[in-house]
């Protein structure tokens, strides 16, 4: 006879713990999972203190660190985390990691009342693993699976990183259909990335997912193996330059990171001196503030876009200086950059940009162009190059006639395509990427550059 | 052609938001769900500021408050939340609510890019509703369902609260099999309670669930309708006295709660004076501290058990005084009690128990009894009543021979069954419920009461 | 025989508690003082929860609320605080307060081991009181004095608020020399305001002060009574319009404030609709962001200057809309305004200004003018009105030849003095007040308005 | 002409910053002082992250670390802080420091608009320095002085640490009267310790002090030089064993400390294993909890007393295990111990004591003895040793007739004086030090030990 008497409140009866740690910027998901005081972390980020502290709070000892694969977009925290916690790092076979141990397909790991089972799911990379989660108190159906970059909400991993795409794409299809879908529709899907990541195509906004939901709704799973492979071949992926460095670090073991980044406050004079030593300025203020005044040569990179676009323009070896409205923003920017292997954050302009211009240094500006003015110029036939820096998908969903299209991430290496002899109006969705684009053009010597205020959104709403 | 260019980082492209707010004590789950700046709360708790603040942080306006049913174990926060946010309260049909609007089966509510669909799922109560969640960007499969007290991880709702059990249990079965399971195995299940709640039987430790997982693993769903109904009839449920008050409040609309509870600091003299005016003392310190010294007449109620057991002994009209190690604990205890409709928290003993005894007031104690000593007494045939206060399920899984069994929640009304003429050793799992039991016995005039240190866990580990 | 054995760590031996609560914006200092569980608050601010919470943390019951005088610049929190804590409000004689009790000169109040003694010190207002602090365990010398607006670090209170200045100034001199200085050089001075307040002249940056230090260093105390009075007569003080409302509220008792302000998130459409109903927009973003784009008609009021300048332009009855970079800033702005009796904060533009222009609404801009360009224009003899909006003191310490001087606080009522037929370049210290000034001019219909980037600081540093 | 126009709100006009950082336990005060972005720290504690973070928040670069002297009671953080911030360490002459630079009497240091002037004030130690603070904007009077352990609120430094007491005491008197008092009565006094420190005699509860107040109220300054020296000679000071280690570290430079301490969670089995390897258990729970059940051999050391008493019983080389109610307490205990040079904190018992006894391990108890029972025993002439462990001063202010007096700090080396053949009742102020004393006696093999509940406070209040 069952009863609803409250019988499980004593401390020995702990619930399964499953926490998703979201790292914004790269839209990275990592997980802390465990039971009865034993736990594991899946795909830890570089600044790994968060797992250590959460585990202590929960009274959980981290016994394992599981890597779903060698990440290309962020530096792994597994080596630091393993050192701090004495845990074992586990990753898939076939990549010459200088740390950790290799897990084989089918291997199981008990953590209190839960169990993780390793599944080899190559395709995104050759050693990609997924880890199925079982509740040992309840039976044999998998309750969830950590899918890394193999399967996302609404998307699948890219197959162009290691080996020939057709082959890798085939492996990916087989991994999903042969290893993941058999876990059952009910298994929740916990991937390594959410919407906004470049590690897969069309990752959706959904934060709830399951094998059943993906089987029903994921566009990539509605087609045949052939078509799936064909789609992967057709995809065009970006390869920010920093990926190479991250891959190397994630193979050899990254340099240790001590504590959270704390960029040093720098005075205007110190910033100025470093500019003469090839430091690059990353200005994370709003496009409006950048428009009005900024240090000449700065990149305009809004905070939420920093992780996505910095990798296209900053060499990993470059000393970086930050300009931000406030300390918290500089700290956040530094954290994002360190996760991407930018270890030379020299400091930030203390007191904000006003200390720069009050100290007598010159500023530059990039005028904002209202959509109404742009419309009028175009209707009057004035010569103005509309440079649309949105993605191909956005471009294809509608654009201004006669515009030139170069996605923001490609602009720096394709500035030769931009006509240098007249006004340029950069445009994107609302004004963040276009501000980034304008800053690239200004660095390359273009002088008559405007950022379209409100972008295509304002353009479409112009009738209001 | 799809591309992995980062195209969705602009602000207009917001992810679906789905947050679970866990209220410990009653193991209550509520949810904040939304998209594109529009949101809803499902089953808000009484101290509803948390939803207001989270929504502001997320830039989300709360448009709806959905009640899955008239809760019996906690006071709803829907009326306060609706007043503060201007949102509409929605609940199921057939209960004479004095507030909100009735939702009908099949009715849909759009919130940005998501959609909630109401499903009438009676059984736990007559007006129980579930709400299926759809991602309008991706297709027609439900991605999740908010199941209230209809379906839990590993359990189902109790069917004894309204109407005849056989009939309600049948409705419950039909609701689960006819309305929830057809949503598809992939739909995540988000219930109103987790492990430890008395609103359902055998709720599991799992925090991840789906229709598929429940279909495969939930014991209640492995049987026929007849057997399901029979099981519900056989269940024995507790009905703490405060339920009646909560049901009344949740029908008529509860008194507003202004801000978080801040029990007043009281000096020993003030506590003493209130004791003479029928105030009850709830001592939330550890059983060890209670054992050594406490104010005579106190209930020993450890913090994590307060929500489960206070309702069996405290009249809702009683003035309550708190004894705690520190302010945070007193605040937390007050919060738990206010959620249960105990609105007369008069204050807490400032400075802790030591200010009581240093002020010259007398203390009482309840000796701890080590399991080794208990074992020796029993082997020597000494007269000692072992009073086991665990649940029936725990009792049936093994107990000390000759022990008397009265679950902790029933003890106060069944003290007549306890022999008054010799030593009593209360025992539970590790020592929390037994300390509560000892405090009940001491209040009822039993003098020779001992709490078994470590309970049945220590008993089983005695060999060590 | 004395010993250094650690004998005072037991809980009964509590240190004297003295905490300064600084409210930025108005540079307001309030104090929590007490001992042995009994405390008092001096000059509480309107959002008084901070005292309640600190006192609970410290285990202190607030028994008294002392007002040093009827504040003119911020709404008192004494009535709310008294209601919440059951404490007694005490203020000086001669003002028809509708709440609290009158304290008489020489009256003493014991709080555990400390003692507060009331001293009537008129001059700033007729009923101004100071409160001397004694440590009853140690002897008869005053250890500190709460001086309200009578004596500041490096300054003294203004004497123009009530009654004829010569008379009030004489009273002020007599209060300081006759009542405060006799307390002894060692007495620490704790005033109601720090640097930046308009309640006194030349308040210094020092946060440490004493009677001795003020006697030695305070310029106002280095002169004769006659000269002191003469100086007070010569001072020119600002009287922001909101003072009148605050004085009325602080006499009659202000409307209660429930909880911290939480301005509602508003969409662009909602902001637009309210603009047509005479709501005023306060834009607290940086001058740079304001320069590039803002909602037409907005006031540019940087956060740290909001409390000082809003009172010159906003009617207390006006509905106010906020534009900020982030929620925290909107909350802070709302808090500042509510402290000044602006109770009609209707909400803030959710998502920041970009949601405004992305929605298709038009923006305005005010160009930044680099000091180099200004210098060149002037040297070329171009017609440009340099409008210097700094204080007289700053103006007198050096300014651009030919500039027009109108302090920022006076500009709105003196716009007739500004030539309307040519370009205007507003200038201040670094660019905050000039942005405010530009926003006033734009509201008044001036079109050719520029804000000088970096202000006089950049001007002086131009040589770099 | 002065005006109250708000003219100093621009960022360039920053207030002097002066923050006191209080480290509880050792009642240690350190200070962050600065102006215009330049700052210094006086007497930093070992876990020096707090200064780094505060300075960053305030936009202040730490340029100097001033040591008032070689501290004997806590490990200096100057070496770590200097390394992290690139600042210069400065200390007095005559001690062979292996780090930092020597400052000479009269040397001055400018930090923006403030100035610090070094004063050699030997007596407490030979190289003791004080640092006077000047506000360069206002004149030549010192506004404050950092006095280290030379002058406290209500007390003076002990003179027994280095060299012959008569000589050092004379130096101390001369330093105070010759160097500090001449700074003027108005100078605020900021010492290195507050009430509860063993670095001086009779340090008062006052948190506000000045030269004038000390001159008037400090008992040590009311007497002649001869009498002052005589008093110092008569004082009896404790010398906890760990002082020697701290002095060595503070001369040679302490081992670096990386981040805040995070003691590892240990299971009962791991604690048990370490007990067999000479680890010592420090139980920081309340005396009541300790009384009821604890691990045999534990020291009972309440958190607020840990810093004062651990040094008398724990060898600096001993591995330490912690027992606490919750993680925060274990962390706090670890922090206190690391500040005292205890670097071998092995971990804490995760889950609290209940996991120990539930695991089947035995516990011990020390009965609480109510004062009424003690009074009755004594009146009946029963044989019971009342062991009073308060300080001499408390003892001399009144005690139970016939009691044995051994201050808590001396008990471990004086247990031979305690009669071993009958019941012992330890008593102190309210029950913390007596619980510590009982734990010492139990470790030394005394079996019939009781802790008097409420101590002498309850004894005196017994009539109630």
Residue A23: φ, ψ to 5°: -105, 105
* Chain B residues with CB-CB distance to C12 below 8 A: 358
Instruction: Give the tokens for residue A151.
Output: 């399967």
B325 in contact with D, Cβ within 8 Å = yes
Instruction: Name the 3-class secondary structure at A67.
Output: coil
D368 in contact with B, Cβ within 8 Å = yes
ipTM of the shown complex: 0.91
Q: Which position has the token pair 């306006």?
A: B61
Q: Quick one: pLDDT band at residue B411, thresholds 50, 70, 90?
A: very high
C88 in contact with A, Cβ within 8 Å = no
Q: So what's the pLDDT on residue A10?
A: 39
Nearest-CB residue to B265 (from C61, C265, C355) = C61
Q: How many CA atoms lie within 13 A of D335 on its CB side?
A: 19
A376 in contact with C, Cβ within 8 Å = no
Closest CA to D83 of D57, D95, D65, D110: D65
Q: Write the DSSP string, A354-402.
A: HHHHHTT---B---EEEHHHHHHHHHTT---EEEE-S-HHHHHT---TT
Q: So what's the pLDDT on residue B344?
A: 94
Q: Check if the beta carbon of residue B329 is closer than 8 Å to that of residue B304.
A: no
Contact B11 C259 (CB under 8 A): no
Q: So what's the pLDDT on residue A5?
A: 45
- Residue D433 CA to residue D313 CA, distance in Å, equals 13
DSSP state of A429: S
**D85-95 burial, b for 16+ CB within 10 Å, e for fewer?**
bebbbbbbeeb
Say whether pLDDT at B95 is over 90. Answer: yes
Closest CA to A197 of A24, A334, A76, A45: A24
Contact B139 A217 (CB under 8 A): yes
Provide the whole-model pTM: 0.92
Q: What is the mean pLDDT of residues A34-47?
A: 95
- Residue A58 CA to residue A39 CA, distance in Å, equals 10
Q: Check if the beta carbon of residue D321 is closer than 8 Å to that of residue D347.
A: yes
- Residue A158 CA to residue B364 CA, distance in Å, equals 69
How far apart are the CA of D387 and the nearest CA of chain A, in angstroms? 39
Q: Check if the beta carbon of residue A100 is closer than 8 Å to that of residue A89.
A: yes
Give me the sign of the Cα torsion angle B276, B278, B282, B287.
positive
- Residue B61 CA to residue B38 CA, distance in Å, equals 5
* Chain C residues with CB-CB distance to B259 below 8 A: 259
Q: So what's the pLDDT on residue B129?
A: 98
Nearest-CB residue to C453 (from A293, A431, A460) = A293
Q: What is the mean pLDDT of residues B321-350?
A: 95
Give the neighbours of chain B: at least 3 Cβ pairs within 8 Å. Answer: A, C, D
Residue A64: φ, ψ to 5°: -130, 150
Per residue, the 3-state secondary structure of C193-234, as one string, reads: ECCCCCCECCCCCCCCCEHHHHHHHCHHHCCCHHHHHHHHHH
Contact D3 C429 (CB under 8 A): no
Instruction: Name the 3-class secondary structure at C179.
Output: helix
Instruction: Give the tokens for residue B71.
Output: 């809760």
Which residues, numbered 14 to 53 in chain D, qualify as contacts with chain B under a Cβ-Cβ cut-off of 8 Å? none
Contacts of C127 (CB under 8 A, 6+ apart): C69, C70, C91, C92, C93, C94, C95
Contacts of B162 (CB under 8 A, 6+ apart): B125, B126, B168
- Residue A443 CA to residue A296 CA, distance in Å, equals 8
A13-17, B359-363, B415-419, D399-403 — which is least confidently predicted? A13-17
The residues with which D386 forms a beta bridge, in sequence order, are: D425
- Residue B19 CA to residue B29 CA, distance in Å, equals 10
Contact C355 B11 (CB under 8 A): yes
Q: In chain C, whose CA is at the least distance from the CA of B347? A: C56
Q: In chain C, whose CA is at the least distance from the CA of B62? A: C265
Among C271, C272, C288, C455, most A C-beta atoms within 10 A, so best to mutate, is: C288
A293 in contact with C, Cβ within 8 Å = yes
Phi-psi region of B102 (alpha: psi -120 to 50; beta: other; left: phi over 0): beta
Residue-averaged pLDDT of chain B:
92
Q: What is the mean pLDDT of residues A53-68?
A: 92
Which residues, numbered 421 to 460 in chain B, qualify as contacts with chain D under a Cβ-Cβ cut-off of 8 Å? 430-431, 453-455, 457-458, 460
- Residue D281 CA to residue D300 CA, distance in Å, equals 9
**B379-406 burial, b for 16+ CB within 10 Å, e for fewer?**
eeeeebbbbbbbbebbbeeebbeebebb
B360 in contact with C, Cβ within 8 Å = no
- Residue B345 CA to residue B330 CA, distance in Å, equals 10
pLDDT along chain C (464 residues), means of 10: 43 69 93 93 96 89 96 97 95 96 96 95 97 88 96 95 94 98 96 90 86 94 96 90 96 88 88 94 97 97 94 95 94 96 94 91 95 95 96 93 96 96 94 97 96 95 76
Q: So what's the pLDDT on residue C436?
A: 98
Crossing angle for the helix pair B165-175 and B225-234, to the nearest 10 degrees: 130
Angle, vertex CA C119, rays to CA C115 and CA C125, nearest 5? 135
How do the residues of chain A divide into helix, strand and coil, expressed in percent and rounded to 5? 35, 25, 45
Q: What is the mean pLDDT of residues B372-379?
A: 95
pLDDT tens digits for A379-418? 999 999 999 999 998 999 999 999 999 999 999 999 999 9
Q: Quick one: pLDDT band at residue A57, thresholds 50, 70, 90?
A: confident
Instruction: Give the tokens for residue B381.
Output: 């045939």
Q: So what's the pLDDT on residue C15?
A: 67
Q: Which position has the token pair 């009144």?
A: D398
- Residue C145 CA to residue A324 CA, distance in Å, equals 42
Nearest-CB residue to A196 (from B9, B198, B235) = B9
Residue-averaged pLDDT of chain A:
92
Q: Where are the alpha helices (DSSP H) in D235-362?
A: 242-252, 268-275, 287-292, 303-313, 327-339, 353-358
- Residue D208 CA to residue D189 CA, distance in Å, equals 8
- Residue B263 CA to residue B336 CA, distance in Å, equals 12
pLDDT along chain D (464 residues), means of 10: 44 69 93 93 96 89 96 97 95 96 96 95 97 88 96 95 94 98 96 90 86 94 96 90 96 88 88 94 97 97 94 95 94 96 94 91 95 95 96 93 96 96 94 97 96 95 77
pLDDT tens digits for A231-263? 999 988 888 999 999 999 999 999 998 777 788
Strands (E), B122-209: 129-135, 142-148, 151-152, 155-156, 188-191
D93 in contact with C, Cβ within 8 Å = no
Closest CA to B150 of B182, B127, B184: B127
Q: Write the DSSP string, D326-360.
A: SHHHHHHHHHHHHHTT---EEEEETT-HHHHHHTT
Contact C56 B267 (CB under 8 A): no
Say whether pLDDT at B8 is over 70. Answer: no
* Chain A residues with CB-CB distance to D57 below 8 A: 327
Nearest-CB residue to A292 (from C357, C362, C368) = C368
Instruction: Name the 3-class secondary structure at B435.
Output: helix
Q: Which position has the token pair 């040679």?
A: D252
* Chain C residues with CB-CB distance to A351 below 8 A: none
Q: How many CA atoms lie within 13 A of D462 on its CB side?
A: 14
B358 in contact with C, Cβ within 8 Å = yes
Nearest-CB residue to D357 (from B285, B289, B453) = B453
**Total Cβ atoms within 10 A of residue B223:** 13
* Chain C residues with CB-CB distance to A304 below 8 A: none
Q: How many residues are present in chain B?
A: 464
D375 in contact with B, Cβ within 8 Å = no
Q: Check if the beta carbon of residue A426 is closer than 8 Å to that of residue A403.
A: no
Which residues, numbered 214 to 273 in chain C, qualify as contacts with chain B under a Cβ-Cβ cut-off of 8 Å? 258-259, 262, 265, 267
Q: Quick one: pLDDT band at residue A154, thresholds 50, 70, 90?
A: very high
- Residue A435 CA to residue C344 CA, distance in Å, equals 36
Contact B286 D461 (CB under 8 A): no
- Residue B279 CA to residue B270 CA, distance in Å, equals 11
Q: So what's the pLDDT on residue A15?
A: 67
Instruction: Name the 3-class secondary structure at A403.
Output: coil
A327 in contact with C, Cβ within 8 Å = no
Kind of pairing, strands D265-266 and D345-349?
A: parallel
């Amino acid at each position: 006879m069952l009863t609803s008497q409250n019988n499980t409140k004593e401390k020995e009866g702990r619930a399964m713990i499953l926490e998703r740690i979201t790292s914004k910027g790269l839209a990275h998901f990592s997980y802390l999972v465990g039971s009865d005081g034993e736990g594991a972390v899946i795909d830890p980020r570089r600044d790994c203190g968060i797992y250590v502290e959460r585990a202590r709070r929960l009274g959980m000892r981290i016994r394992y660190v599981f890597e779903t694969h060698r990440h290309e977009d962020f530096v792994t925290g597994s080596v630091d985390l393993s050192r701090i916690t004495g845990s074992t790092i586990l990753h898939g076979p076939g990549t010459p990691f200088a740390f950790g141990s290799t897990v084989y397909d089918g291997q199981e790991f008990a953590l209190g009342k839960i169990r993780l089972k390793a599944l080899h799911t190559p395709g995104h990379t050759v050693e990609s693993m997924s880890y199925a989660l079982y509740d040992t108190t309840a039976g044999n159906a998998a309750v969830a699976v950590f899918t890394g970059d193999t399967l996302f909400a609404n998307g699948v991993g890219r197959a162009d990183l290691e080996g020939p795409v057709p082959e890798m794409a085939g492996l990916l299809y087989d991994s999903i259909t042969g290893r993941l879908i058999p876990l059952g529709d009910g298994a929740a899907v916990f991937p390594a990335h959410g919407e906004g990541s470049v590690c897969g195509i069309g990752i959706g906004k959904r934060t709830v997912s399951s094998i059943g939901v993906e089987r029903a709704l994921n566009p990539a799973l509605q087609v045949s193996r052939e078509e799936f492979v064909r789609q992967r071949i057709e995809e065009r992926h970006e390869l920010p330059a920093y990926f190479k460095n991250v891959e190397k670090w994630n193979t050899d073991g990254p340099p240790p990171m001590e504590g959270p980044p704390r960029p040093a406050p720098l005075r205007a004079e110190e910033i100025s001196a470093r500019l003469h030593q090839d430091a690059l300025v990353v200005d994370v203020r709003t496009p409006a503030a950048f428009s009005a005044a900024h240090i000449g040569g700065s990149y305009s990179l809004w905070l939420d876009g920093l992780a996505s676009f910095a990798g296209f323009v900053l060499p990993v070896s470059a000393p970086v200086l930050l300009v931000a409205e406030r300390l918290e923003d500089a700290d956040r920017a530094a954290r994002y950059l360190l996760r991407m292997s930018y270890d030379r954050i020299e400091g930030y302009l203390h007191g904000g940009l006003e200390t720069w211009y009050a100290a007598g240094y010159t500023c530059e500006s990039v005028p904002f162009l209202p959509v109404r003015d742009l419309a009028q110029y175009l209707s009057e036939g004035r010569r103005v190059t509309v440079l649309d820096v949105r993605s191909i998908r956005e471009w294809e969903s509608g654009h201004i006639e006669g515009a030139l299209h170069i996605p923001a991430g490609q602009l720096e290496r394709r500035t030769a395509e931009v006509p240098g002899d007249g006004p340029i109006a950069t445009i994107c969705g609302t004004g963040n990427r276009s501000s980034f684009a304008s800053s690239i053009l200004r660095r390359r010597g273009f002088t008559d550059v405007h950022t379209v205020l409100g972008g295509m959104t304002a353009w479409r709403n112009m009738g209001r």
